[in-house]
């Protein structure tokens, strides 16, 4: 929201109360408070009829400062509020200087002068990050009745801004106007399903605006040297987050807002959907599964979309008996075929559903201000909305889902959660403007916690579309309704990378596009992208997404990439465990790993899958890939070709390959199972070593399915000597020295040669080896 008319003036409809003159700075226990008058104080009479803007600085975590700015503080505080780490007085150190104060949390400091306008400068280890301009920010009143609290944080030359949720606009947010307001807008507009009022700066800090409601960001779009953000009302809370690099900032953000849960290994396999409005019954489902088996394509999860329930009565959580006469027996048969089962749900209850009557009678549905049930006809006729602020309504909703879990369903696709009304009343009297965005948190939390209770920790996951701050704790999230075009495929990856910059650890998308029908060419290219994402689902709208509907080659391509992903599971699950431990995403924008490379600042058509594999999907029908490799020796995982980085590359790929490169100095654990994602990763694992520089050490861990470390392999290079050491339990393991054939001797194990390089295989009891290369 813009308050200024150009740089010098304020819009005629706005009365601006800036922080003009500091009148007092107070040092308290765990708090530094600054009081700034909104005009110059020339004499005692100037103190009359003059507003004061108060800024309070506290500490939450090491390198995380909480800034609160307000005009009036006497208003009642209505929730909901994000679940964030609480302020800790003992973490704030206040330094007193001659003309200023510094409020410090570990290496992050906020500097406040004792005179002048109410500016605040933020530094990390003495380096200036940004500053709050008192004369720009403060309080604004629009049309003499709409109050807003406003902040401007300065941007430096070349500074770039990322995040603000799963946004399908340009990856770098400079120049954009962003309103944090969840909407069901597809992937081709400025609207977003997952709005997160958090941005990450290339300068090495993050900012979270702690308002669950509508936050408006002007990223270099009002004042071109600042990010301006505003919230309705009298008070603005935000968190300034520091760290040694962008990954450290994201880790601190995860400590503040919550880390992603660890999802089960089976979820990384291939998901196949019935699609949305297609006709299907048990016979159709079996034909899909049989077809995958006939084409020898490994399949791991089958998803039933909306019409597993009868039309006009979503949601009632009852199988449509016309199509599925014995669902319990069907689910048992699917499990016997080695499949997990997911079913579609949402929080909307159609008037025709028996749940509507139950919910209305017991007061479990959101109400109008007059006490009647809120209803409309969008999506489902006369539908109501489950009131998740009512604990009894949560238990009621969970009880219906529990019956499905007892029947044999394994997980849920928690669709929707964005179309939330604002002129309503909630059970706990939450502010409906704040609940619009926050509703999705309560919805997905209710489903996820039930799954944890019924299935156990690390076995729970949902497949969610909407989100707000903290939603990363309830994975997985997918990118919504994309179209079957290369442009929409590019939109999807931009959205996923933007979301990942907000601490969301796992992300998926509809392979082949949701709307329309992909060409065989596009489908095959999207398959490669989809299977090299953290989670992989075939899903569509009016048409099926089985590969033989495209062509026979599509079946072979899908088979190849599913099998590739299965072999990569020792590496991928290790990365998932680190995502759970650190809060860092599995799919990472290039700038996150290479912040000092200026080329990487704008790259949004390639990414790192984990910390060691670079993926560059192909976006054109001639098969040409245009991608960038940072400096170093990169090795193509499939062809074994080494490429010296530091420049753009152009190549043409067939459908069975794409730019997929191992990072220099990488030790990559690869399994031997091409059919399942959930096998013992410490059995017959091969550690592939890529381009290890002299005097460097590479390390790789192998994890059990519960997230505990089973073994760690380390390889250190000293000239022509490679020292291998293993701690923990491995069974029949091996080491492959990629592109090294001239091995003179090994101190243990059995040496052979493969097309990829020298291969040394070991028995379980062998833990060390000295490899001499010629």
Distance CA 526, CA 729 (A): 38
Decide the pairing of beta strands 138-142 and 215-219.
unpaired
Distance CA 336, CA 356 (A): 35
Contact 617, 605 (CB under 8 A): yes
- Rg over alpha carbons for the chain, rounded to the nearest Å, is 28
Distance CA 282, CA 284 (A): 5
Contact 662, 668 (CB under 8 A): yes
**Of 199, 162, 169, whose CA–CA distance to 186 is shortest?**
169
Distance CA 247, CA 596 (A): 13
Tell me which residues are annotated as active site.
Answer: 415, 418, 481
Three-class DSSP category at 323 = coil
Q: Exposed, middle or buried: residue 6 (CB in 10 Å: 0-12, 13-18, 19+)?
A: exposed
* Structure-token pair, residue 56: 């309070």
C-alpha 257 chain-centroid distance = 13
* Structure-token pair, residue 392: 């009894």
Place of tokens 């096998």: 679
Q: Which residues, in sequence order, are bridge partners of residue 709?
A: 703
Distance CA 690, CA 86 (A): 44
Render 364-410 in DSSP notation, one character per residue.
-B-B-TTSSBP-B-SSSTTBEEB-TTSHHHHHHHHHHHHHHHHHT--
Three-class DSSP category at 654 = coil
Contact 528, 565 (CB under 8 A): no
Decide the pairing of beta strands 93-96 and 100-105.
antiparallel
Question: In Å, how far are 273, 438, 467, 646 from 300, measured between CA atoms?
Answer: 11, 32, 26, 39
CB half-sphere exposure, 412, CA atoms < 13 A: 28
Cα torsion through 455, 456, 458, 461, rounded to 10: 40
Q: Which residues, in sequence order, are bridge partners of residue 650?
A: 626
Nearest 5°: phi and psi at 232? -65, 145
Three-class DSSP category at 660 = strand
Contact 477, 174 (CB under 8 A): no
């Amino acid at each position: 929201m813009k308050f200024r008319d150009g740089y010098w003036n304020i819009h005629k409809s706005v009365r601006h109360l800036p922080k003009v003159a500091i009148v007092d700075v107070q040092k308290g226990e765990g708090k530094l408070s600054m009081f700034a008058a909104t005009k110059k104080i020339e004499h005692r009479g100037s103190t009359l009829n003059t507003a004061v803007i108060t800024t309070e600085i506290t500490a939450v975590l090491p390198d995380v400062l909480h800034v609160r700015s307000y005009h009036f503080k006497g208003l009642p505080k209505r929730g909901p509020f994000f679940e964030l780490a609480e302020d800790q007085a003992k973490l704030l150190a206040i330094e007193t200087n001659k003309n200023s104060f510094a409020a410090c949390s570990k290496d992050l400091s906020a500097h406040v002068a004792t005179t002048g306008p109410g500016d605040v400068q933020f530094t990390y280890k003495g380096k200036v990050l940004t500053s709050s301009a008192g004369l720009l920010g403060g309080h604004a009143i629009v049309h003499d009745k709409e109050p807003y609290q406003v902040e401007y944080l300065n941007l430096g030359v070349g500074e770039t801004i990322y995040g603000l949720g799963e946004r399908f606009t340009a990856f770098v947010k400079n120049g954009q106007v962003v309103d944090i307001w969840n909407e069901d807008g597809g992937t081709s507009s400025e609207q977003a399903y997952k709005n997160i009022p958090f941005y990450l700066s290339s300068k090495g800090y993050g900012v979270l605006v702690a308002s669950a409601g509508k936050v408006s960001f002007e990223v270099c779009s009002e004042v071109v040297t600042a990010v301006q953000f505003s919230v309705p009302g009298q008070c603005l809370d935000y968190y300034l987050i520091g760290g040694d690099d962008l990954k450290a900032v994201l880790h601190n953000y995860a400590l503040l807002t919550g880390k992603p849960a660890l999802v089960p290994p089976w979820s990384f396999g291939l998901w196949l959907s019935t699609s949305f409005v297609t006709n299907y019954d048990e016979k159709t489902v079996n034909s899909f599964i049989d077809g995958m088996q006939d084409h020898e394509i490994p399949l791991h999860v089958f998803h039933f979309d909306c019409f597993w329930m009868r039309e006009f009565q979503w949601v009632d959580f009852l199988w449509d008996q016309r199509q599925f006469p014995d669902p319990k027996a069907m689910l048992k048969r699917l499990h016997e075929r080695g499949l997990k089962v997911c079913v579609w749900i949402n929080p909307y209850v159609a008037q025709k559903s028996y749940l509507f009557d139950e919910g209305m009678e017991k007061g479990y549905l959101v109400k109008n201000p007059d006490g009647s049930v809120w209803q409309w006809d969008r999506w489902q006729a006369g539908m109501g909305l489950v009131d998740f602020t009512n604990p009894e309504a949560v238990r009621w909703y969970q009880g219906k889902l529990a019956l499905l879990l007892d029947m044999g369903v394994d997980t849920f696709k928690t669709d929707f959660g964005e179309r939330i009304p604002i002129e309503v009343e909630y059970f706990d009297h939450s502010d409906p403007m704040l609940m619009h965005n926050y509703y999705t948190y309560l919805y997905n939390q209710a489903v996820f916690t039930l799954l944890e209770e019924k299935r156990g920790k690390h076995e729970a996951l949902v497949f969610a579309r909407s989100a707000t701050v903290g939603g990363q704790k309830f994975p997985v999230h997918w990118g919504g309704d994309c179209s079957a075009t290369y442009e929409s495929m590019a939109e999807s990856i931009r959205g996923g990378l933007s979301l990942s910059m907000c601490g969301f650890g796992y992300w998926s998308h509809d392979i082949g596009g949701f709307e329309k029908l992909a060409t065989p060419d596009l489908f095959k290219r999207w398959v490669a992208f989809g299977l090299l994402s953290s989670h992989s689902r075939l899903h569509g709208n009016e048409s099926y997404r089985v590969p033989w509907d495209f062509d026979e080659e599509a079946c072979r391509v899908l088979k190849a990439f599913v099998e590739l992903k299965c072999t990569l599971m020792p590496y991928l699950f290790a990365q998932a465990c680190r995502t759970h431990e650190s809060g860092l995403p599995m799919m990472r924008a290039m700038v996150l790993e290479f912040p000092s490379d200026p080329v990487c600042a704008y790259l949004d058509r390639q990414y790192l899958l984990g910390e060691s594999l670079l993926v560059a999907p192909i976006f054109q029908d001639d098969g040409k890939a245009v991608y960038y490799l940072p400096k170093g020796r990169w090795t193509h995982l499939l062809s074994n070709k080494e490429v010296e980085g530091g420049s753009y590359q152009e190549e043409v790929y067939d459908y069975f390959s794409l730019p997929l490169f191992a990072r220099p100095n990488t030790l990559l654990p690869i399994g031997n199972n091409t059919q399942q994602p959930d096998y013992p990763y410490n059995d017959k694992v091969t550690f592939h070593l890529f381009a290890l520089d002299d005097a460097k050490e590479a390390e790789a861990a192998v994890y059990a399915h519960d997230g505990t470390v089973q073994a760690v392999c380390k390889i250190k290079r000293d000239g022509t000597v490679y020292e291998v050491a293993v701690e923990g339990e491995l069974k029949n393991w091996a080491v492959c020295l990629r592109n090294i054939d001239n091995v003179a001797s090994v101190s243990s194990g059995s040496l052979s040669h493969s097309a990829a390089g020298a291969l040394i295989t070991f028995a379980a009891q062998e833990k060390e080896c000295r490899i001499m290369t010629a």
